[in-house]
Chains A and B, each alone.
Chain A
Amino acid sequence: MEVQSEHASGEIKHLQRCINDLISLLALPAIWSGGDPSQVLHTLLDALMRMLRLDLISVRLTDLVGEAPVEIVRLSEQRRPMSSAHEICEALSQCFKNDSRKWPPLLRNLMGDGDVSIVALPLGLQGELGIMVVAAEREDFPRQTESLLLDVAANQAVIGLQEARLRSQQKRVADELDRQVAQRAAELATANEKLKKELAERGLVEERLGQEERELKRSEVRKAAIVDSALDCIVTIDHEGCITEFNPAEEDTFGYRRDEVLGKHLADVVIPPSLREKHRRGFARYLATGEARVLGKRIEMTAVRADGSEFPVELAITRIPLEGPPSFTGYLRDITERNRARQELRRSEAFLAEAQHLSRIGSFSWRMVTDEITWSEQLYRIFQIDRDAQVTFELIGTRIHPEDLPAFQEHIERSRRDRSDVQLEFRLQMPDGAVKYVHVAAHIRGDHGQPEYIGAVQDVTERRASEEALGKARSELSQVARVTSLGVLTASIAHEVNQPLSGIITNAGTCLRMLAADPPNVEGARETVRRTIRDGNRAADVISRLRALYGKKEPTIESVDLNEATREVLALSMSELQRNRVIVQQELVDDLPLVAGDRVQLQQVILNLLRNASDAMSTIDDRPRDLLIRTEPDDDGRVRLSVSDVGTGFEPQATDKLFEAFYTTKNEGMGIGLSVSRSIIERHHGRLWAMPNSGPGVTFSFSVPCRAEGLTSDGARASRVPSVSDAA
């Protein structure tokens, strides 16, 4: 989720930038409208230089009617190439004479020793207009979107150049006409005077006129070819708004045939009925006052096709610079796809924002060179910082919990230094004193010049709260379990203590009687006193064992011999087991590795397993109540202890439930024992499980890691096993 969201965020930013660039490129014709080819190229090159951070851009035009080839070379100001612009220009001129596919390597030599990516773009379908060369010293150049931008730029250049050329041709034709008319008038005047004398020359004059007409016609044909092949819709209208030209792209887009619409009002053909009146008013106003609201601008509007369907278009209208009644050219482009992409981008942004809001995840980027930090909207919400604020580490610091601030700052410094992935959890303190827990995950990306951390911040306050509640509940449960165990054990404790006490009292009574006899039986009395002392010690042992089992509160980690721990538990519970007629068989393997853990907690688990086994066999009368307790080394440096009974067992479908708190198969009991036992074992990085025996009964087993593994592989882990009671 985090990785996806930051990837999506970066991708969206990139795409957005690309769309912005595209829009800028598409808006260029409005800027160079009416300019000459050189203006077109300068405008375009400036824009590309800026957008794509190019090191070199060059354009050479080969086919400009009647004009010398235009060549422009731009070099990045940041870059100081080995060769001067002039030299590169010279070299490029050389290149142009050769096969254009061969010269990028030549050029590469001129650019210096850096690794330069060079892209050559033919201008015109066959490169007939010329060639554009761009170069950048970037590894990732050109990216897919940059190639797209370059293609669009090349197309724009072609269209711009063709328009410019068209304009210059039209102008030239008009000039030529004027000149010829004047000349012809003069000639006619002269001819009139010399008509009779120069009758013979008349044929020549007529022939020349014919030649000029053909020239004009050729120009018209060339212009028509350009208009016909343009990708954009091009329509021309006369001063009444009637269509005089309608190119094939327009036919495709609108679904009209050219001959259907020629002479019709543009408004009636392409403008939706609802907008027609407005269009007419604007057109009339322009004709009356010269006030143009749309001329020379790119505007977006709705157009209508022959079948009545409406669609968004981008429209630029220019006035054809000819004398006489005004006429206009309109360039129309279907922007349905562009709008759809824009909408999808907006929707995707909205999705992301909503997802971040719901999941309480905010994303950020941190450019390490400039310390420029960008936040998603949700992150401002998490930090409760005003959306307009400039995010700085200083500002962030004001929200970090004072106790966590030093660690946070150290993490920042470490990230700056190591550039390693970040996984961090810390607390925020809001202005009202409320504390939030946040989890931060970030990783670095970007090229060498612009390393950037991209990451996500999740508000985990609720999760932390529930974890704490869970820990508290578990601790309470374990307390209940202890109390329950104590309650059940009371009889057993009394039994254990009463046995030696009984000996003590009996011996003491006997002693008194022996001493009261006449003569006193001193020897016998001494023997009874000796036994009294021994029984007293036995009682003390019982008490100290019980204290060891139930007295301690804080868990301590020590090396535990599970065999010894098992024997102690058996010693405490043996009489109870015997009363329940359980026959205990021990298979405690010699040289069992020590385990690291809390001895008392592990003994509580063993005791619990023994009692469960005993209880499971309480109704068994047709076979011996055999209980087998076994210890053995397990796989992977673990030690396993298992307790098998021949009792009633459990339903196979109950296996999953066995370890749930309050699940019990017994009539008495709270069903807490196994769930607490499992949590104790899991806190020892072990596991506890149950398996039905092949014969009657069940085997419960647990395995825990040996001490050596715990100490060497993870000292911190072995040094402290959280107790069930310290989670809260």
Chain B
Amino acid sequence: MELRQERRAVERPLVSVVDDDESVRESLPDLLGELGYAARTFSSAEEFLASDCLDQARCLILDIAMPGMSGPDLQRELKLRGQEIPIIFITASTDKSARPRLLEQGAVECLFKPFSDTALLKAMNTAFHRK
């Protein structure tokens, strides 16, 4: 279990990152910080659901394939709970066919690893613009 908080400032919107890959959990918060967000990371969907972050997060950056509950599973679960958080899926898979279905089901974006900082920024802007 790992929980990391970066530059937690009141004015900064909170973004939750759920990914089983440590590289992502380490690198993304710094980038999000540079982009003007606060970030919290979780190594699994279950850990995120159990946290107090559920109500605070304004956006969710979610890995698709994870041990246990997968990204889309969490998306469905949140919908069931009435939690309408904008979700940006990220995946290391090269299978592009998953993307249209995810967007159809309400995801903001689906980014294929490795993605650039500008691609992430664009997706973040879309997420917060929607809101």
Contacts and interface: CB of A to CB of B under 8 A. Distances in A.
A494 B92 CA distance: 7
A509 B66 contact: no
Interface string B50-93: 00000000000000011110000000000000000000001011
A617 to B, nearest CB: 15
B30 A510 contact: yes
Nearest to A535: B23
Given A494-B94, A495-B92, A510 B27 contact: yes
Interface residues of B, number: 28
A517 B34 CA distance: 9
A499 B23 contact: yes
A491 B27 contact: no
A506 B117 contact: yes
B34 A502 contact: no
A658 B106 CA distance: 45
B23 A498 contact: no
B66 to A, nearest CB: 7
A164 interface: no
A500 B117 contact: no
B26 to A, nearest CB: 6
A490 B94 CA distance: 9
A575 interface: yes
A514 interface: yes
Contacts of B68: 581
Nearest to A516: B34
Contacts of A527: 30
Contacts of A578: 20, 65-67
Interface string B18-34: 00110110111011001
A183 to B, nearest CB: 140
Interface string A465-509: 000000000000000000000000011001110111111111101
Nearest to A582: B67
A506 B65 contact: no
A501 B113 contact: yes
A578 B113 CA distance: 18
A513 interface: yes
Contacts of B34: 510, 513-514, 517
A506 B31 contact: yes
B104 interface: no
Interface of B: 20-21, 23-24, 26-28, 30-31, 34-35, 65-68, 90, 92-95, 112-118, 120
17 contacts: A491-B93, A494-B92, A494-B93, A496-B92, A498-B112, A499-B21, A499-B92, A499-B113, A502-B24, A502-B90, A502-B92, A502-B113, A503-B27, A505-B116, A507-B31, A510-B117, A513-B31
Given A506-B23, A510-B34, 4 more contacts: A498-B112, A502-B24, A505-B117, A517-B34
